[in-house]
Amino acid sequence: MSMFNQPTSSGGFFKPADANGHLILVTTVHEITQRYDDLRKKDMDNATVDLVDLDDGGQELQERVIVSHPALVNRLSVGGGLTLGRIGQIPTQSGFQAWALLPFNEGVDDKRAEQWVHAHRPTFNQAATPAPAPVPAPAPAPAAAAVPPGVNTTTGEITTPPPGLTPQQYAAAQQNPATAALAAQIPAQQQPQGEPPF
């Protein structure tokens, strides 16, 4: 048995009359656009979705199917996550019946949908559970301290006095190279304005 699934049917229009009473799971809403409806003589919202009819024997994911019935489209939103409902009809203000996505039976229908999602998770893009929180990047290593001017980086010996060191600090650092780092950390004393720093 192959580890890959064959491509499923894609495109076309969703016909709610063929799925009356069926449990429908919309896994992805790709887009909602306006399209001219010849019957209504005006632009109507259409949703392009991936869906599965859980009451159909094959339970295959149908990709990029166009849903054009307003009471179905109104229940969908791009990026809205998984949407589950039963296809049925509702009365309109004009007295006609309109196809709609009706509420599902909690505790029964949602359990069936969860089973399908867990069995078919690799075959559709939108996960049923939220994505795990991103792992924070490790903190950058502290930058190496700048070596003050006049310090031999190999021995730590001060070869010329850095600006701002008093003669006593410079002499102490020369006596003991281990104090060079300590001496370099002492903030430079401000020089009087207009006088050279040496």
Q: Is residue 1 part of a domain?
A: no
Instruction: Please name the helix (run of DSSP H) or strand (run of DSSP E) that holds residue 182, with its range, or none.
Output: helix 180-185
Residue 136's pLDDT band (cuts 50, 70, 90): low
Mark whether 113 and 179 lie in a shared domain.
no
Count how many domains the chain has: 2
Q: Does 152 reside within a domain?
A: yes
Residues 114, 167, single domain; the answer is no
| Domain-located, residue 6 | no
Q: Are 23 and 106 in the same domain?
A: yes
> Quick one: which of 89, 95, 109, 96 has its CA closest to 20?
89
Least-confidence region, from 38-42, 95-99, 187-191 = 187-191
Query: In this structure, is residue 132 part of a structural domain?
Result: no
Distance CA 79, CA 120 (A): 19
- Same domain for 20 and 69, yes or no, is yes
Query: Which residue type, as a one-letter code, is found at position 175?
Result: Q
CA–CA gap between residue 128 and residue 115 (Å, rounded): 11
- Rounded average pLDDT over 113-137: 65
Question: How sure is the predictor about 40, in pLDDT bands with cuts at 50, 70 and 90?
Answer: confident
**Burial class of residue 147 (count of CB atoms within 10 Å of its CB; 0-12, 13-18, 19+):** middle
What digits encode the pLDDT tens for the residues 42-98?
888 899 999 999 998 778 999 999 998 888 998 999 988 899 999 999 988 888 899
Q: Which helix (H) or strand (E) covers residue 114, if one does?
A: helix 109-120
Give the pLDDT band of residue 1 (cuts 50, 70, 90).
Answer: very low
Taking 60 as the threshold, does the pLDDT of residue 34 lie above it? yes
Q: What integer pLDDT is reported at residue 181 of this predicted model?
A: 52
